[in-house]
Chains A and B, each alone.
Chain A
Protein backbone atom coordinates (compact mmCIF):
# COMPACT_ATOMS: atom_id res chain seq x y z
CA UNK A 1 0.00 0.00 0.00
CA UNK A 2 1.31 3.42 -0.88
CA UNK A 3 1.69 6.18 1.72
CA UNK A 4 -0.49 9.27 1.79
CA UNK A 5 -3.49 7.24 0.87
CA UNK A 6 -6.58 7.14 3.00
CA UNK A 7 -7.38 6.93 6.66
CA UNK A 8 -9.93 4.33 7.69
CA UNK A 9 -12.63 6.95 8.31
CA UNK A 10 -11.86 8.76 5.10
CA UNK A 11 -12.21 5.47 3.27
CA UNK A 12 -15.69 4.93 4.71
CA UNK A 13 -16.71 8.46 3.74
CA UNK A 14 -15.33 8.07 0.25
CA UNK A 15 -17.15 4.76 -0.23
CA UNK A 16 -20.37 6.33 0.97
CA UNK A 17 -19.96 9.18 -1.52
CA UNK A 18 -19.45 6.59 -4.25
CA UNK A 19 -22.65 4.80 -3.22
CA UNK A 20 -24.78 7.94 -2.94
CA UNK A 21 -23.57 9.89 -5.95
CA UNK A 22 -25.64 7.76 -8.28
CA UNK A 23 -28.85 9.23 -6.84
CA UNK A 24 -27.24 12.68 -6.64
CA UNK A 25 -27.54 12.43 -2.83
CA UNK A 26 -23.89 12.71 -1.87
CA UNK A 27 -23.91 15.71 0.43
CA UNK A 28 -23.21 16.33 4.17
CA UNK A 29 -26.41 15.28 5.90
CA UNK A 30 -27.20 12.33 3.65
CA UNK A 31 -23.66 10.98 3.97
CA UNK A 32 -23.81 11.35 7.74
CA UNK A 33 -27.08 9.46 8.02
CA UNK A 34 -25.87 6.77 5.65
CA UNK A 35 -22.71 6.18 7.69
CA UNK A 36 -24.63 6.11 10.97
CA UNK A 37 -26.93 3.52 9.50
CA UNK A 38 -24.24 1.36 7.92
CA UNK A 39 -21.60 1.42 10.65
CA UNK A 40 -23.53 2.30 13.78
CA UNK A 41 -20.94 4.90 14.75
CA UNK A 42 -22.04 8.21 16.21
CA UNK A 43 -20.73 10.62 13.65
CA UNK A 44 -21.12 14.38 13.85
CA UNK A 45 -21.71 16.68 10.93
CA UNK A 46 -18.49 18.56 11.39
CA UNK A 47 -16.44 15.38 11.15
CA UNK A 48 -18.03 14.54 7.81
CA UNK A 49 -17.48 18.06 6.53
CA UNK A 50 -13.85 17.96 7.58
CA UNK A 51 -13.32 14.53 6.00
CA UNK A 52 -14.92 15.64 2.73
CA UNK A 53 -12.71 18.71 2.73
CA UNK A 54 -9.62 16.57 3.22
CA UNK A 55 -10.71 14.19 0.47
CA UNK A 56 -11.20 17.10 -1.88
CA UNK A 57 -7.74 18.46 -0.99
CA UNK A 58 -6.32 15.04 -1.82
CA UNK A 59 -8.19 15.04 -5.11
CA UNK A 60 -10.31 12.00 -4.27
CA UNK A 61 -13.61 13.85 -4.71
CA UNK A 62 -14.79 16.93 -6.49
CA UNK A 63 -17.84 18.98 -5.67
CA UNK A 64 -20.28 21.53 -6.96
CA UNK A 65 -23.25 23.39 -5.55
CA UNK A 66 -26.63 21.87 -6.33
CA UNK A 67 -29.98 23.53 -6.85
CA UNK A 68 -31.48 25.57 -3.98
CA UNK A 69 -34.19 23.66 -2.10
CA UNK A 70 -36.89 24.97 0.20
CA UNK A 71 -36.25 22.61 3.08
CA UNK A 72 -32.86 24.12 3.86
CA UNK A 73 -34.18 27.65 4.01
CA UNK A 74 -33.33 28.08 0.34
CA UNK A 75 -29.67 27.16 0.81
CA UNK A 76 -27.89 25.08 -1.83
CA UNK A 77 -26.32 21.69 -1.14
CA UNK A 78 -22.76 20.92 -2.05
CA UNK A 79 -22.89 17.64 -3.97
CA UNK A 80 -19.79 15.45 -4.08
CA UNK A 81 -18.67 13.03 -6.76
CA UNK A 82 -15.76 10.59 -6.59
CA UNK A 83 -12.95 11.36 -9.05
CA UNK A 84 -11.19 8.73 -11.15
CA UNK A 85 -8.23 8.92 -8.75
CA UNK A 86 -10.55 8.32 -5.86
CA UNK A 87 -12.11 5.29 -7.50
CA UNK A 88 -8.71 3.85 -8.29
CA UNK A 89 -7.56 4.35 -4.70
CA UNK A 90 -10.62 2.52 -3.38
CA UNK A 91 -10.04 -0.26 -5.89
CA UNK A 92 -6.40 -0.61 -4.83
CA UNK A 93 -7.28 -0.84 -1.18
CA UNK A 94 -9.84 -3.49 -1.99
CA UNK A 95 -7.29 -5.48 -4.04
CA UNK A 96 -4.68 -5.44 -1.30
CA UNK A 97 -7.20 -6.73 1.21
CA UNK A 98 -8.50 -9.42 -1.13
CA UNK A 99 -5.00 -10.78 -1.77
CA UNK A 100 -4.29 -10.81 1.95
CA UNK A 101 -7.53 -12.71 2.62
CA UNK A 102 -6.69 -15.34 0.03
CA UNK A 103 -3.37 -15.99 1.77
CA UNK A 104 -5.04 -16.93 5.05
CA UNK A 105 -4.16 -20.58 5.74
CA UNK A 106 -7.39 -21.43 7.49
CA UNK A 107 -10.10 -18.89 7.07
CA UNK A 108 -11.92 -18.11 10.31
CA UNK A 109 -14.82 -20.35 10.97
CA UNK A 110 -17.69 -18.77 12.68
CA UNK A 111 -18.16 -21.78 14.90
CA UNK A 112 -16.85 -22.76 18.28
CA UNK A 113 -14.50 -25.72 18.08
CA UNK A 114 -14.91 -27.76 21.24
Chain B
Protein backbone atom coordinates (compact mmCIF):
# COMPACT_ATOMS: atom_id res chain seq x y z
CA UNK B 1 0.00 0.00 0.00
CA UNK B 2 1.18 3.52 -0.72
CA UNK B 3 1.56 5.93 2.19
CA UNK B 4 -1.35 8.31 2.71
CA UNK B 5 -0.95 11.91 1.49
CA UNK B 6 2.04 11.23 -0.73
CA UNK B 7 3.01 14.53 -2.36
CA UNK B 8 4.87 14.06 -5.63
CA UNK B 9 7.47 16.87 -5.37
CA UNK B 10 8.51 15.77 -1.85
CA UNK B 11 8.71 12.09 -2.73
CA UNK B 12 10.60 12.84 -5.95
CA UNK B 13 13.13 14.96 -4.04
CA UNK B 14 13.74 12.03 -1.74
CA UNK B 15 14.35 9.71 -4.71
CA UNK B 16 16.70 12.22 -6.36
CA UNK B 17 18.81 12.54 -3.23
CA UNK B 18 20.75 9.50 -4.44
CA UNK B 19 21.93 11.01 -7.72
CA UNK B 20 23.73 7.92 -9.04
CA UNK B 21 20.75 5.65 -8.46
CA UNK B 22 18.35 8.18 -10.01
CA UNK B 23 20.56 8.38 -13.09
CA UNK B 24 20.68 4.61 -13.35
CA UNK B 25 16.88 4.42 -13.04
CA UNK B 26 16.48 6.98 -15.80
CA UNK B 27 18.86 5.15 -18.14
CA UNK B 28 17.48 1.65 -17.46
CA UNK B 29 13.97 2.79 -18.31
CA UNK B 30 15.03 4.85 -21.31
CA UNK B 31 16.67 1.68 -22.65
CA UNK B 32 13.24 -0.01 -22.61
CA UNK B 33 11.75 2.95 -24.46
CA UNK B 34 14.46 2.57 -27.14
CA UNK B 35 13.71 -1.14 -27.50
CA UNK B 36 10.06 -0.22 -27.97
CA UNK B 37 11.01 2.16 -30.79
CA UNK B 38 13.11 -0.51 -32.49
CA UNK B 39 10.14 -2.90 -32.43
CA UNK B 40 7.72 -0.28 -33.71
CA UNK B 41 10.03 0.52 -36.63
CA UNK B 42 10.04 -3.10 -37.72
CA UNK B 43 6.32 -3.07 -38.48
CA UNK B 44 5.31 -0.84 -41.40
CA UNK B 45 1.72 -1.00 -40.14
CA UNK B 46 2.58 0.23 -36.61
CA UNK B 47 0.59 3.45 -36.80
CA UNK B 48 -2.31 1.62 -38.47
CA UNK B 49 -2.25 -0.89 -35.61
CA UNK B 50 -2.48 1.89 -33.06
CA UNK B 51 -5.41 3.37 -34.92
CA UNK B 52 -7.18 0.01 -35.06
CA UNK B 53 -6.58 -0.58 -31.37
CA UNK B 54 -7.90 2.87 -30.52
CA UNK B 55 -11.04 2.35 -32.60
CA UNK B 56 -11.73 -1.14 -31.25
CA UNK B 57 -11.43 0.05 -27.66
CA UNK B 58 -13.46 3.21 -28.29
CA UNK B 59 -16.20 1.12 -29.90
CA UNK B 60 -16.17 -1.37 -27.04
CA UNK B 61 -16.55 1.37 -24.43
CA UNK B 62 -19.58 2.68 -26.31
CA UNK B 63 -21.32 -0.66 -25.82
CA UNK B 64 -19.54 -1.94 -22.77
CA UNK B 65 -22.64 -3.27 -21.02
CA UNK B 66 -23.63 -5.33 -24.07
CA UNK B 67 -20.18 -6.85 -24.44
CA UNK B 68 -20.01 -7.68 -20.74
CA UNK B 69 -23.32 -9.54 -20.95
CA UNK B 70 -22.15 -11.40 -24.04
CA UNK B 71 -18.90 -12.28 -22.29
CA UNK B 72 -20.74 -13.54 -19.23
CA UNK B 73 -23.07 -15.75 -21.31
CA UNK B 74 -20.23 -17.30 -23.26
CA UNK B 75 -18.09 -17.86 -20.17
CA UNK B 76 -21.00 -19.57 -18.44
CA UNK B 77 -21.50 -21.71 -21.54
CA UNK B 78 -17.85 -22.80 -21.11
CA UNK B 79 -18.51 -23.82 -17.51
CA UNK B 80 -16.88 -20.76 -15.96
CA UNK B 81 -18.60 -18.78 -13.18
CA UNK B 82 -18.67 -15.00 -13.62
CA UNK B 83 -19.04 -12.68 -10.61
CA UNK B 84 -19.63 -8.93 -10.65
CA UNK B 85 -18.06 -6.68 -8.03
CA UNK B 86 -19.10 -3.04 -7.74
CA UNK B 87 -16.04 -2.05 -5.73
CA UNK B 88 -12.79 -3.25 -4.18
CA UNK B 89 -14.49 -4.45 -1.01
CA UNK B 90 -16.91 -6.64 -2.94
CA UNK B 91 -14.10 -8.02 -5.09
CA UNK B 92 -12.11 -9.01 -2.02
CA UNK B 93 -15.19 -10.51 -0.37
CA UNK B 94 -15.98 -12.64 -3.43
CA UNK B 95 -12.39 -13.89 -3.72
CA UNK B 96 -12.24 -14.69 -0.02
CA UNK B 97 -15.56 -16.55 -0.08
CA UNK B 98 -14.38 -18.70 -2.99
CA UNK B 99 -11.15 -19.51 -1.14
CA UNK B 100 -12.74 -20.04 2.28
CA UNK B 101 -15.40 -22.40 0.90
CA UNK B 102 -12.64 -24.64 -0.44
CA UNK B 103 -10.43 -24.39 2.64
CA UNK B 104 -7.65 -22.75 0.66
CA UNK B 105 -4.56 -22.19 2.79
CA UNK B 106 -2.19 -20.96 0.10
CA UNK B 107 -2.90 -18.81 -2.97
CA UNK B 108 -0.37 -18.26 -5.76
CA UNK B 109 -0.95 -14.98 -7.57
CA UNK B 110 0.30 -13.80 -10.91
CA UNK B 111 0.85 -10.08 -11.34
CA UNK B 112 -2.33 -8.06 -11.25
CA UNK B 113 -2.51 -4.31 -10.81
CA UNK B 114 -6.24 -4.71 -10.10
CA UNK B 115 -5.64 -6.75 -6.96
CA UNK B 116 -3.09 -4.13 -5.87
CA UNK B 117 -5.77 -1.50 -6.45
CA UNK B 118 -8.23 -3.53 -4.34
CA UNK B 119 -5.75 -4.25 -1.55
CA UNK B 120 -6.43 -7.97 -1.88
CA UNK B 121 -3.22 -9.30 -0.31
CA UNK B 122 -3.62 -7.73 3.15
CA UNK B 123 -7.34 -8.56 3.12
CA UNK B 124 -6.65 -12.26 2.58
CA UNK B 125 -3.66 -12.37 4.89
CA UNK B 126 -5.74 -10.93 7.72
CA UNK B 127 -8.06 -13.87 7.16
CA UNK B 128 -5.34 -16.47 7.48
CA UNK B 129 -4.61 -17.16 3.80
CA UNK B 130 -1.01 -17.23 2.65
CA UNK B 131 -0.64 -15.16 -0.53
CA UNK B 132 2.41 -15.68 -2.72
CA UNK B 133 3.07 -13.23 -5.54
CA UNK B 134 4.84 -15.23 -8.22
CA UNK B 135 6.03 -12.73 -10.80
CA UNK B 136 9.70 -12.27 -9.85
CA UNK B 137 9.55 -8.48 -9.58
CA UNK B 138 6.26 -8.66 -7.72
CA UNK B 139 7.69 -11.28 -5.34
CA UNK B 140 10.67 -9.02 -4.64
CA UNK B 141 8.48 -6.07 -3.66
CA UNK B 142 6.16 -8.36 -1.70
CA UNK B 143 9.11 -9.60 0.38
CA UNK B 144 10.13 -5.97 0.92
CA UNK B 145 6.57 -5.07 1.98
CA UNK B 146 6.32 -2.27 -0.54
CA UNK B 147 4.13 -1.57 -3.57
CA UNK B 148 5.38 -2.09 -7.16
CA UNK B 149 7.04 1.01 -8.61
CA UNK B 150 6.17 0.21 -12.24
CA UNK B 151 3.22 -1.71 -13.66
CA UNK B 152 5.34 -3.96 -15.90
CA UNK B 153 8.69 -3.89 -14.06
CA UNK B 154 7.61 -3.81 -10.40
CA UNK B 155 11.14 -3.82 -8.94
CA UNK B 156 12.86 -1.49 -11.41
CA UNK B 157 13.67 0.93 -8.57
CA UNK B 158 16.00 -1.62 -6.93
CA UNK B 159 19.64 -2.49 -7.51
CA UNK B 160 20.73 -6.11 -7.65
CA UNK B 161 22.71 -5.70 -4.43
CA UNK B 162 19.49 -4.87 -2.60
CA UNK B 163 17.77 -7.93 -4.08
CA UNK B 164 20.75 -10.10 -3.19
CA UNK B 165 20.54 -8.97 0.44
CA UNK B 166 16.80 -9.55 0.48
CA UNK B 167 17.10 -13.06 -0.95
CA UNK B 168 19.90 -13.87 1.44
CA UNK B 169 17.64 -12.98 4.35
CA UNK B 170 14.43 -14.50 2.96
CA UNK B 171 15.50 -17.40 0.77
CA UNK B 172 18.90 -18.24 2.21
CA UNK B 173 20.92 -17.43 -0.91
CA UNK B 174 24.67 -16.87 -0.73
CA UNK B 175 25.58 -13.58 0.90
CA UNK B 176 27.08 -11.11 -1.56
CA UNK B 177 26.17 -13.12 -4.67
CA UNK B 178 24.62 -10.43 -6.89
CA UNK B 179 24.43 -12.41 -10.11
CA UNK B 180 20.94 -11.91 -11.61
CA UNK B 181 20.92 -15.45 -13.06
CA UNK B 182 21.82 -16.99 -9.71
CA UNK B 183 19.20 -14.90 -7.91
CA UNK B 184 16.49 -15.58 -10.48
CA UNK B 185 17.06 -19.33 -10.36
CA UNK B 186 17.01 -19.30 -6.56
CA UNK B 187 13.62 -17.61 -6.71
CA UNK B 188 12.52 -20.12 -9.35
CA UNK B 189 13.31 -23.07 -7.07
CA UNK B 190 11.58 -21.47 -4.12
CA UNK B 191 8.47 -20.45 -6.05
CA UNK B 192 8.13 -23.81 -7.74
CA UNK B 193 7.52 -25.37 -4.33
CA UNK B 194 4.76 -22.82 -3.77
CA UNK B 195 3.20 -23.60 -7.17
CA UNK B 196 3.22 -27.31 -6.38
CA UNK B 197 1.62 -26.90 -2.96
CA UNK B 198 -0.88 -24.08 -3.60
CA UNK B 199 -4.62 -24.72 -3.28
CA UNK B 200 -5.64 -21.95 -5.67
CA UNK B 201 -4.23 -19.62 -8.30
CA UNK B 202 -5.28 -16.06 -9.06
CA UNK B 203 -4.42 -14.17 -12.23
CA UNK B 204 -5.15 -10.79 -13.65
CA UNK B 205 -6.55 -10.44 -17.15
CA UNK B 206 -4.96 -8.69 -20.12
CA UNK B 207 -7.87 -9.22 -22.51
CA UNK B 208 -11.35 -10.72 -22.11
CA UNK B 209 -13.02 -11.80 -25.34
CA UNK B 210 -16.79 -11.27 -25.45
CA UNK B 211 -17.23 -13.57 -28.42
CA UNK B 212 -15.61 -16.61 -26.75
CA UNK B 213 -16.07 -15.93 -23.03
CA UNK B 214 -12.40 -16.50 -22.31
CA UNK B 215 -9.56 -14.46 -20.86
CA UNK B 216 -6.01 -13.92 -22.10
CA UNK B 217 -3.06 -13.50 -19.75
CA UNK B 218 0.39 -12.45 -21.00
CA UNK B 219 3.56 -13.19 -19.03
CA UNK B 220 7.19 -13.82 -19.84
CA UNK B 221 7.81 -16.01 -16.83
CA UNK B 222 4.98 -18.55 -17.14
CA UNK B 223 3.79 -17.88 -13.61
CA UNK B 224 0.16 -17.39 -14.60
CA UNK B 225 0.34 -20.75 -16.36
CA UNK B 226 1.84 -22.74 -13.52
CA UNK B 227 -0.47 -20.99 -11.07
CA UNK B 228 -3.55 -22.08 -12.99
CA UNK B 229 -2.51 -25.49 -14.37
CA UNK B 230 -1.54 -26.95 -10.98
CA UNK B 231 -4.06 -25.87 -8.29
CA UNK B 232 -7.71 -26.94 -8.72
CA UNK B 233 -9.14 -23.42 -8.44
CA UNK B 234 -8.43 -20.55 -10.86
CA UNK B 235 -9.77 -17.10 -10.10
CA UNK B 236 -9.26 -14.36 -12.70
CA UNK B 237 -9.80 -10.74 -11.62
CA UNK B 238 -10.53 -8.21 -14.35
CA UNK B 239 -11.61 -4.60 -14.66
CA UNK B 240 -14.68 -4.01 -16.80
CA UNK B 241 -12.53 -2.24 -19.42
CA UNK B 242 -10.54 -5.36 -20.34
CA UNK B 243 -13.23 -6.57 -22.76
CA UNK B 244 -12.63 -6.73 -26.49
CA UNK B 245 -15.42 -7.85 -28.83
CA UNK B 246 -13.93 -10.64 -30.94
CA UNK B 247 -11.19 -13.22 -30.99
CA UNK B 248 -9.73 -11.71 -34.15
CA UNK B 249 -9.08 -8.46 -32.28
CA UNK B 250 -6.39 -10.25 -30.31
CA UNK B 251 -4.51 -10.17 -33.62
CA UNK B 252 -4.21 -6.41 -33.08
CA UNK B 253 -3.66 -6.16 -29.33
CA UNK B 254 -1.19 -9.01 -28.85
CA UNK B 255 0.98 -7.35 -31.50
CA UNK B 256 1.01 -4.05 -29.62
CA UNK B 257 1.24 -5.08 -25.99
CA UNK B 258 4.72 -6.56 -25.53
CA UNK B 259 6.29 -4.34 -28.18
CA UNK B 260 5.00 -1.25 -26.36
CA UNK B 261 5.70 -2.64 -22.89
CA UNK B 262 9.18 -4.14 -23.03
CA UNK B 263 10.26 -3.84 -26.65
CA UNK B 264 9.83 -7.55 -27.29
CA UNK B 265 7.89 -8.91 -30.29
CA UNK B 266 5.55 -10.84 -27.97
CA UNK B 267 5.44 -12.15 -24.41
CA UNK B 268 6.78 -15.69 -24.00
CA UNK B 269 3.37 -16.92 -22.91
CA UNK B 270 0.14 -15.54 -24.33
CA UNK B 271 -2.31 -17.90 -22.68
CA UNK B 272 -6.01 -18.25 -23.44
CA UNK B 273 -8.13 -19.58 -20.58
CA UNK B 274 -11.62 -20.74 -21.49
CA UNK B 275 -12.13 -23.61 -19.06
CA UNK B 276 -10.62 -24.81 -15.81
CA UNK B 277 -8.00 -27.51 -15.86
CA UNK B 278 -9.49 -31.03 -15.68
CA UNK B 279 -10.92 -31.65 -12.23
CA UNK B 280 -10.75 -27.94 -11.40
CA UNK B 281 -12.99 -24.91 -11.52
CA UNK B 282 -12.60 -21.41 -12.92
CA UNK B 283 -14.14 -18.15 -11.75
CA UNK B 284 -13.91 -14.67 -13.21
CA UNK B 285 -14.53 -11.58 -11.07
CA UNK B 286 -15.52 -8.53 -13.12
CA UNK B 287 -14.72 -5.35 -11.18
CA UNK B 288 -16.03 -1.80 -11.57
CA UNK B 289 -14.45 0.07 -8.63
CA UNK B 290 -14.94 3.55 -10.06
CA UNK B 291 -14.47 2.73 -13.73
CA UNK B 292 -18.09 3.35 -14.71
CA UNK B 293 -17.80 6.84 -13.18
CA UNK B 294 -14.82 7.58 -15.44
CA UNK B 295 -16.84 6.16 -18.36
CA UNK B 296 -19.42 8.90 -17.80
CA UNK B 297 -16.84 11.70 -17.86
CA UNK B 298 -16.28 13.04 -21.39
CA UNK B 299 -12.87 14.49 -20.48
CA UNK B 300 -11.42 11.30 -19.11
CA UNK B 301 -13.23 8.20 -20.38
CA UNK B 302 -10.55 7.60 -23.05
CA UNK B 303 -8.22 6.56 -20.19
CA UNK B 304 -10.30 3.35 -20.00
CA UNK B 305 -8.80 2.27 -23.33
CA UNK B 306 -5.52 1.61 -21.49
CA UNK B 307 -4.04 -1.87 -21.93
CA UNK B 308 -1.50 -1.40 -19.10
CA UNK B 309 1.67 -1.68 -21.19
CA UNK B 310 3.56 1.00 -19.27
CA UNK B 311 5.00 2.63 -22.42
CA UNK B 312 3.90 6.06 -21.13
CA UNK B 313 5.99 5.57 -17.99
CA UNK B 314 9.05 4.45 -19.91
CA UNK B 315 9.04 7.56 -22.06
CA UNK B 316 8.04 10.08 -19.37
CA UNK B 317 10.99 12.33 -18.45
CA UNK B 318 9.47 12.93 -15.03
CA UNK B 319 8.65 9.32 -14.19
CA UNK B 320 12.13 8.20 -15.18
CA UNK B 321 13.65 10.75 -12.82
CA UNK B 322 11.27 10.38 -9.90
CA UNK B 323 10.32 6.65 -9.84
CA UNK B 324 6.92 5.10 -9.35
CA UNK B 325 7.02 5.41 -5.59
CA UNK B 326 6.76 9.17 -5.81
CA UNK B 327 3.25 8.94 -7.28
CA UNK B 328 0.40 8.60 -4.79
CA UNK B 329 -1.81 6.27 -6.85
CA UNK B 330 -0.93 2.58 -7.21
CA UNK B 331 -0.51 3.12 -10.96
CA UNK B 332 2.23 5.75 -11.47
CA UNK B 333 3.36 7.76 -14.48
CA UNK B 334 1.17 9.49 -17.04
CA UNK B 335 -1.68 6.96 -17.10
CA UNK B 336 -1.77 6.75 -13.31
CA UNK B 337 -1.75 10.55 -13.16
CA UNK B 338 -5.11 10.65 -14.87
CA UNK B 339 -6.62 7.46 -13.40
CA UNK B 340 -5.67 8.38 -9.82
CA UNK B 341 -7.12 11.91 -9.83
CA UNK B 342 -10.24 10.62 -11.65
CA UNK B 343 -10.75 8.34 -8.67
CA UNK B 344 -9.95 10.82 -5.91
CA UNK B 345 -8.78 14.33 -6.79
CA UNK B 346 -8.10 15.31 -3.19
CA UNK B 347 -5.76 12.41 -2.58
CA UNK B 348 -4.02 12.39 -5.97
CA UNK B 349 -4.10 16.07 -6.90
CA UNK B 350 -0.29 16.44 -7.01
CA UNK B 351 0.13 13.64 -9.56
CA UNK B 352 -1.22 15.62 -12.50
CA UNK B 353 1.37 18.31 -11.83
CA UNK B 354 4.17 15.75 -12.20
CA UNK B 355 4.07 16.35 -15.93
CA UNK B 356 5.91 18.64 -18.32
CA UNK B 357 3.10 18.34 -20.90
CA UNK B 358 5.76 17.27 -23.40
CA UNK B 359 3.24 14.87 -24.94
CA UNK B 360 5.66 11.98 -25.31
CA UNK B 361 3.27 9.65 -23.46
CA UNK B 362 0.47 10.35 -25.92
CA UNK B 363 2.86 9.71 -28.81
CA UNK B 364 3.81 6.21 -27.69
CA UNK B 365 0.46 5.07 -26.29
CA UNK B 366 -0.63 2.02 -28.32
CA UNK B 367 -4.31 2.94 -27.93
CA UNK B 368 -3.69 6.66 -28.48
CA UNK B 369 -4.97 8.00 -25.19
CA UNK B 370 -4.65 11.81 -25.08
CA UNK B 371 -2.70 11.55 -21.84
CA UNK B 372 -1.03 14.95 -21.65
CA UNK B 373 -4.29 16.70 -22.48
CA UNK B 374 -6.05 14.79 -19.73
CA UNK B 375 -3.33 15.75 -17.28
CA UNK B 376 -3.89 19.45 -17.98
CA UNK B 377 -7.60 18.96 -17.31
CA UNK B 378 -6.81 17.06 -14.12
CA UNK B 379 -4.70 20.02 -12.99
CA UNK B 380 -7.67 22.27 -13.43
CA UNK B 381 -9.75 19.91 -11.31
CA UNK B 382 -7.02 19.80 -8.68
CA UNK B 383 -6.96 23.60 -8.58
CA UNK B 384 -10.76 23.88 -8.40
CA UNK B 385 -10.92 21.24 -5.67
CA UNK B 386 -8.49 23.29 -3.59
CA UNK B 387 -5.85 20.58 -3.33
CA UNK B 388 -2.89 22.82 -4.13
CA UNK B 389 -0.39 23.90 -1.50
CA UNK B 390 -0.65 27.65 -0.77
CA UNK B 391 2.65 28.63 -2.45
CA UNK B 392 1.78 26.77 -5.64
CA UNK B 393 -1.72 28.18 -5.65
CA UNK B 394 -0.48 31.73 -5.15
CA UNK B 395 2.11 31.27 -7.88
CA UNK B 396 -0.53 30.10 -10.33
CA UNK B 397 -2.89 32.91 -9.42
CA UNK B 398 -0.11 35.47 -9.87
CA UNK B 399 0.78 33.95 -13.22
CA UNK B 400 -2.85 34.05 -14.29
CA UNK B 401 -3.07 37.69 -13.32
CA UNK B 402 0.09 38.53 -15.25
CA UNK B 403 -0.86 36.67 -18.40
CA UNK B 404 -4.17 38.48 -18.42
CA UNK B 405 -2.38 41.83 -18.25
CA UNK B 406 0.25 41.80 -21.03
CA UNK B 407 1.73 45.21 -20.24
CA UNK B 408 2.28 44.17 -16.65
CA UNK B 409 3.82 40.87 -17.79
CA UNK B 410 6.30 42.79 -19.97
CA UNK B 411 7.23 45.07 -17.10
CA UNK B 412 7.59 42.19 -14.67
CA UNK B 413 9.80 40.36 -17.16
CA UNK B 414 11.99 43.39 -17.65
CA UNK B 415 12.33 43.85 -13.88
CA UNK B 416 13.25 40.20 -13.44
CA UNK B 417 15.96 40.36 -16.14
CA UNK B 418 17.50 43.34 -14.40
CA UNK B 419 17.12 42.27 -10.79
CA UNK B 420 17.90 38.54 -10.78
CA UNK B 421 21.54 38.87 -12.03
CA UNK B 422 22.43 41.24 -9.21
CA UNK B 423 20.71 39.28 -6.44
CA UNK B 424 23.07 37.89 -3.80
CA UNK B 425 23.51 34.10 -3.92
CA UNK B 426 21.73 33.40 -0.64
CA UNK B 427 18.48 34.81 -2.01
CA UNK B 428 18.65 32.76 -5.21
CA UNK B 429 19.58 29.61 -3.31
CA UNK B 430 16.28 29.71 -1.52
CA UNK B 431 14.17 29.17 -4.63
CA UNK B 432 12.68 25.97 -5.96
CA UNK B 433 15.05 26.31 -8.93
CA UNK B 434 18.24 26.28 -6.95
CA UNK B 435 18.41 22.61 -5.90
CA UNK B 436 21.43 20.65 -7.12
CA UNK B 437 21.19 20.22 -10.86
CA UNK B 438 18.46 22.83 -11.11
CA UNK B 439 20.19 26.18 -11.13
CA UNK B 440 18.29 29.33 -11.92
CA UNK B 441 18.82 29.98 -15.63
CA UNK B 442 20.90 32.95 -16.80
CA UNK B 443 18.71 35.93 -17.48
CA UNK B 444 18.75 37.02 -21.14
CA UNK B 445 19.23 40.67 -21.91
CA UNK B 446 16.12 40.94 -24.06
CA UNK B 447 12.71 39.33 -23.98
CA UNK B 448 11.41 37.15 -26.80
CA UNK B 449 9.04 39.92 -27.76
CA UNK B 450 11.89 42.43 -28.08
CA UNK B 451 13.99 40.04 -30.13
CA UNK B 452 11.06 39.28 -32.40
CA UNK B 453 10.27 42.91 -32.95
CA UNK B 454 13.88 43.69 -33.81
CA UNK B 455 14.03 40.82 -36.28
CA UNK B 456 10.89 42.03 -37.99
CA UNK B 457 12.42 45.47 -38.26
CA UNK B 458 15.66 44.08 -39.69
CA UNK B 459 13.70 42.25 -42.39
CA UNK B 460 12.13 45.46 -43.65
On whether the two chains bind one another, the answer is no
Which residues of B does A touch, CB under 8 Å? none
Which residues of A come within 8 Å of B, CB atoms? none
